[in-house]
Amino acid sequence: MFQSTFHAVTCSMAILFVAPAVALAQPESTNIDSASRPNIVWIMSEDNSKHYLKHFDETGVETPAIEAMAAHGITFDRAFSNAPVCSTARTTLITGCYGPRIGTQFHRRTELATLPEGVEMFPAWLRQSGYYTTNNSKEDYNAKKRMEPWDDSSRKASWKNRPSEDSPFFHVVTFADSHEGRLHFGVDALQKPTDFDQETVSLPPYFPDTQVFRHTAAFYRDRMSIIDEKVASVIAQLEKAGELENTFVFYFGDHGGVLPRGKGYIYESGLHVPLVVRVPNNYRNLVDRELGSRTKGFVSFIDFAPTVLNLAGVRLDKAGPIDGNAFLGPRIDSAKVDTRDTTFGYADRMDEKYDLVRSIRVGDWKLIRSFESFQPDAMWADYRYKMLAYQQWRDRYHTGKLNNVQSQFFKPRPPELLFNLADDPHEVNNLASDPAHGDRLTELRAKLNAHLKQTNDLGFLTEAGMLKVIDAPVESGKRLSNEIANYIDTANIAVMPWDQANKALLSAINSGDKLERYWALVAASSIAAWNRSANHDMAADETFIKLLHRRTLDTEPLVAARAAQLAAILQVADPRPTFQRTLELSQSPTEALQIFNMVRHVNALAGNPYPMNSKLFRLPFNPDPKGLIQQHLDHLDRP
């Protein structure tokens, strides 16, 4: 055991909402409860939700090494990434902060966000306290480093390289054997056998039952067996060095995935991760739980940083600038952790595909709010569709070979999705329009909206707007708090009864605030794509159509493009001249990227009433030939 001692710095963490950022006090050197410091290791596998491990789901594969960790530790049955894709999830892990609050929610970042005063990538605080910190090797952060978090972050990084055997260490290792790219195989691979039985493999009801899907699902479970072998190797190395019983070992997925409708999507398949923590014998006293126990208390990625800091004895000063709460270690009451029942999720741009989705889960009830619900989940993202399963799913939809549940992925979404996960774990039965659950919907809607406003969700500035304040995103969010709250309310016109929404839209679309106009048009598009009666009313309303035409001439390119998109949904005007003009006038590549997302959406409308190709558009800059805009242009020219 390590004999080094240190002093803590006191702190209390914000529970659901955000306390003002403060500077950290410097760690001092003194003893805490006469205990020495444990080592901490994170083992991350990429892109897998909990559903592929039998330890968490009866349809998964056996993972003996992870199960052995659980027998000597704790299983967290309800652990969640706050975001369903790598860079946003990993930035949340390393900062303990909600991405939309600190400007790190887009995958991948266009520019790195500046962290506010008092916020660090948390291993930096461990380093200050004497820990040797290593990462092998994926980072993928969307923020600038303030203090350096790592003594070594490379493919050679190892806790074995610490300066002395008495140095406590924090080590992170990521295994990519379960990454999405492993499923980018060709048709010939379908002839190869899998270890997991393809005949008995379980498919969720939203997938077609085909050889492609069965092979992919079985093959991915084989990948999890490889992950388990890698976990066993890490445990064996610690044991051989005599450090296993000095080391808390966490195993978890870095977000959900990775079959279709997983990674990048805010369903449970994208957010619900496996988490097991092995508790070392020499630090058994730090954990208020029985070994081999399971808890249904909610923990999410905002909580991981404060948990590691708490286990290490490092506590933030006063109110603390991060959003999470520790769930293990000194002063943590397991009974109180067991009562935690709430998690928030967010999904924004993933590669070239824009979206803005937020979620709240309380117990077994979950509300998903799709702010751009007129876009189907299936909107093209080039990397996604390298997977045969995605390709076949799309092709079977276009040839009429899917049932209603399997087709949902390719249709406009309701603005609100309400699920009872106890009865509907695959989230296919939307209860939002069921009067029997009206009170539940109202309650979750209010909690989610309060959270978005209290965290000053920067997604409502648009990415192009957020980049204007990327050097001070948190401070700007506070300064613009009232405006952001107004944009959230404007976007929520989409969930009003139509007789109320109609009047509210006319006022907001005519606003002097460009982003209020923008979100009003987005709300109108959501209504028009989902409510046939409202669609007819808008198209037949002469006053509304005149106002919409004026907005297509708006001096703000994003506003004009949104107006053109709505006109296309209503089929009251050709959007192509407006798209051409706004792209020529686009003020940044990020703004152009978002407009191209609208172009692609309109180009994929049923019947393709306004066909477009890349030759229609000129840009005020030369796009990166390997960049996201070029991906849009290339896709427009595909048959």
> For 122-177, what is each residue's pLDDT tens digit?
999 999 999 999 999 999 999 999 999 999 999 999 999 999 999 999 999 999 99
- Whole-angstrom Cα distance, residue 458 to residue 340? 26
Name the band, by pLDDT with cuts 50, 70 and 90, for residue 14. very low
Return d(Cα 462, Cα 214) in angstroms, integer.
39
Band (pLDDT 50/70/90 cuts) for residue 21 is: very low
pLDDT over threshold 70, residue 459: yes
Average pLDDT over residues 2-21: 33
Q: Are 182 and 235 in contact (CB under 8 A)?
A: no
pLDDT tier for residue 382 given thresholds of 50, 70 and 90: very high
Report pLDDT for 504: 98
Q: Is residue 28 pLDDT above 80, yes or no?
A: no
- Residues 579 and 612: beta-carbon distance below 8 Å: yes
pLDDT in tens, 413-437: 999 999 999 999 999 999 999 999 9
Give 433-497 as a DSSP string: T-GGGHHHHHHHHHHHHHHHHHTT-GGGG-HHHHHTTTTSHHHHHHHTHHHHHHHHHHHGGGGS-
Q: Which residues is 419 bridged to in the sheet?
A: 366
Phi, psi (degrees; rounded to nearest 5) at 249? -115, 120
What's the pLDDT score for residue 18?
A: 36
**pLDDT given for residue 506 in this prediction:** 98
Q: Would you state the pLDDT for residue 233?
A: 99
Amino acid letter, 229: E
Q: 48 and 63 in contact (C-beta within 8 Å)?
A: no
Sheet holding 342-347, edge to edge: 342-347, 357-362, 365-370, 416-420
The pLDDT value recorded for residue 34 is: 32
Q: Residue 20: pLDDT above 60?
A: no
Judged against a pLDDT cut of 70, whether residue 7 lies above it is answered with no
- What's the rounded Cα separation, in Å, for the pair 137 and 529? 44
User: Residues 616-624: what's their mean pLDDT?
Assistant: 97
DSSP structure class, residue 61: B
Is pLDDT at 265 greater than 60 in this prediction? yes
Instruction: List, in order of start, the domains of the chain with CATH numbers.
Output: 39-340 (3.40.720.10), 462-467+481-636 (no CATH)
Q: Which residue has the higher pLDDT, 1 or 252?
A: 252
Task: With residue 277 as reference, give the H or E element that holds it.
Answer: strand 272-278
Mean pLDDT of the region 459-470: 98
pLDDT value of position 320:
61
DSSP state string for 84-134: SSHHHHHHHHHH-S-HHHHT--SBS-SSPBPPPTT---THHHHHHTT-EEE
Report the alpha-carbon distance of residue 526 to residue 372 in Å, rounded: 6
pLDDT of residue 398: 97
321 closest CA partner among 478, 192, 474: 474
19 pLDDT band, cuts 50/70/90, is very low
Residues 599-613 pLDDT 10s: 999 999 999 999 999
Amino acid at residue number 471: D
- In the beta sheet, which residues pair with residue 350? 107, 353
* pLDDT tens digits for range 577-601: 999 999 999 999 999 999 999 999 9
297-327 pLDDT, tens digit each: 999 999 999 999 999 999 877 546 899 999 9
pLDDT confidence of residue 321: 85
Q: Which residue has the tokens 């967290």?
A: 76
